A = this chain, B = another copy of it.
Amino acid sequence: MAEVQLTPTSYVVLGLLSLAGEATSYDLKRLVAQSVGYFWALPHSQLYAEPARLAKGGYVSERRETSGRRRRYYSLTDRGRSALEDWAGSLPDELGELRDPGILKLFFGADPATLARGQLELHERRLSEYEAMLASMGSHLPDGPRLALEAGIGHEHEYIRYWKELAAG
């Protein structure tokens, strides 16, 4: 059982497995797209590579179909579940960064008004999507995912406030 480093990607996989039970990489891909993906996306190739890595470390177990597609089904081991709980139960060591491509361009000389109008449109569209998600599934969403979605909505409001001011100027 090799030593594998647990990255945020690892916890996304562990977390989704804890919600979904047994899942294939393709299942994970769809789950990401429908849930965390809106604020923490992963390319599907990672969802093939990462469970394999986690299996090496003993955090997940693999069961493989013997016929047909021979799909690999992954599920949490005790070790995996406990790693996930430790992680979720501890305070983050550091804050995230804004890392917004639009703000980076602004920093290095983009024209504020032009940029702002473009960004505004994108953020308004995204806010609508988030609000549609909340309206449609909000009530039967677990607390964590719902609160995370509300965080996303809050930040979209802030982006819109910000770019609107610049779009005017």
Contacts and interface: CB of A to CB of B under 8 A. Distances in A.
Interface of A: 8, 11-12, 14-15, 18, 35-36, 38-41, 84-85, 87-89, 91-92, 94-112, 114-115, 118-119, 122-123, 126, 143-145, 147-148, 150-152, 154-155, 157-158, 161-162, 166
B95 A147 contact: no
A21 to B, nearest CB: 15
Contacts of A115: 91
B91 A151 contact: no
A15 to B, nearest CB: 4
A56 B98 CA distance: 30
A102 to B, nearest CB: 5
Nearest to A12: B104
